[in-house]
Structure 1
Amino acid sequence: MSNHWLCYMSVKQLDISGCYLIDLPKFEDHRGAFIKTFHPSHFEDTPIHDFDLKEEFYSVSKKNVLRGLHFQEPPAAHNKIVTCLEGKVLDFFIDIRKSSDTFGKLVSIELNSSSPQLIYLPKGIAHGFLTLSEQATLLYKTDHVYAPSLDKGILWSSVGLGIETNSLIISDRDKSFPTFKDYESPF
């Protein structure tokens, strides 16, 4: 397949500085669909042209699972690209970069497998999501490998999401994160 599909890719700046929503072309025919989620030239003429893929992984979550808000601290901080391969999620993220003009800004976007989109999140953005469908699979691409000792989080309920809490499934780890107000950001 040639790079003619690049002309169909759309990159949109989101309300947090350095965060982008990328619409990907979806080619469908009688066999099904084809969606390219990454290629080194994907971002050549975009503000995220220097993304250097180091690790890729995915999570599978049941309905009402809430994960986040996650990030890695320096020196293992990473830029991240997220996409929903199966199902539907409410994806959300907050700027924890003290020097940013959008510090403390929260954005939420619905991602679903029928509309191929990527979200690009730079270093210093805490990320999470809530599964809206019976099951959802999120694929993550990062430009730094996982560093367990620098894997941190912000308590999701401290950022003003306004999500109904009575049926959420949340890990003990995610429940134990400091609030946004109490977190001392190194960013």
Structure 2
Amino acid sequence: MKFVELSIPGCYEIVPTIFRDLRGSFVKTFHQGLFEAQGLATEFAEEFYSLSYRNVVRGLHFQVPPKDLTKVVYALVGEAMDVLVDLRKGSPMFGRYAVCELDAAKANMVYIPSGVAHGFYARSEQVLMVYKVSAVYSPEHDSGIRWDSLDIPWPCNEPIISDRDRNLVPFESFESPFSFCAGGVDGR
């Protein structure tokens, strides 16, 4: 696996080795020792997936403390424009975003520490996104900011959005409970 730090501190694109032969392909999506060597979280509590159709935007989501979480996200099928927004006060990238193109054919993933909002745009007819998270989903701590409250270059001006996401607070109205921890991925 290759770990490439993105412009937001603590966020990484992870590019695994793909083993291909006449039967198909084989991809390792997690290796505890390699994650530990990068200083990344290795304890995950839940894993789930979402299926989205072209022009869907999901996000920008996160959980607030004390149920905040780290995520590893990848497209098992299709292609997605993955977006991360730094919500950690004191971060050199606070209020800024990073974009990572996720592609099932490339098998790349994105590592998202606590304090970073996550969302994506479905580029392909269908995109099946897998999420590995460090804390169990907590409805009381589930939160987000509006997808269109920053200058993110979404490929579609009128994407398909859930009512929940449409009614999230804009970034400028969000009171962040997250603080940047230089040299760490804790987020609090």
In the superposition, the TM-score normalised over structure 2's length comes to 0.91
Matches within 5 A, 1:160-171: 160-171=151-162
* Match of residue 107 from structure 2: 116
1:180 pairs with 151, 159, 171, which one?
A: 171
Give the superposition deviation at 1:166: 4.4
> What amino acid is the match of 2:21?
D
What are the Cα deviations for residues 154-180 of structure 1, in whole angstroms up to 9, with x where unaligned? Answer: 001001113254441100000000000
Structure-2 separation of matches of 1:105 and 1:157? 13
2:6 pairs with 14, 17, 20, which one?
A: 14
> What amino acid is the match of 2:76?
L
* Match of residue 71 from structure 1: 62
2:36 pairs with 35, 44, 66, which one?
A: 44
Q: What is the RMSD of the two structures over their aligned residues, measured on CA atoms?
A: 1.1
1:145 pairs with 136, 160, 163, which one?
A: 136
What are the Cα deviations for residues 93-117 of structure 1, in whole angstroms up to 9, with x where unaligned? Answer: 1000112121111111111100011
Structure-1 separation of matches of 2:34 and 2:27? 12
Structure-2 separation of matches of 1:162 and 1:34? 33
SS in 2 for 1:158: coil
* Alignment gaps of 5+ in structure 1: 1-8
For the pair 1:83 / 2:66, whether they are aligned, the reply is no
For the pair 1:127 / 2:118, whether they are aligned, the reply is yes
**More displaced 10-residue stretch of structure 1: 105-114 or 67-76:** 105-114
What are the Cα deviations for residues 58-88 of structure 1, in whole angstroms up to 9, with x where unaligned? Answer: 1000111100000000000001111111000
Q: Is the 8 A contact 1:90 1:110 kept in 2?
A: yes
> What amino acid is the match of 1:173?
R
Structure-1 separation of matches of 2:50 and 2:33? 26
In the superposition, the TM-score normalised over structure 1's length comes to 0.92
Give the superposition deviation at 1:136: 0.2
> What amino acid is the match of 1:74?
P
Matches within 5 A, 1:95-110: 95-110=86-101
> What amino acid is the match of 1:157?
D
Q: Is the 8 A contact 2:13 2:100 kept in 1?
A: no
Task: State the aligned residue count.
Answer: 178
Question: Among the aligned pairs, what percent are the same residue?
Answer: 44
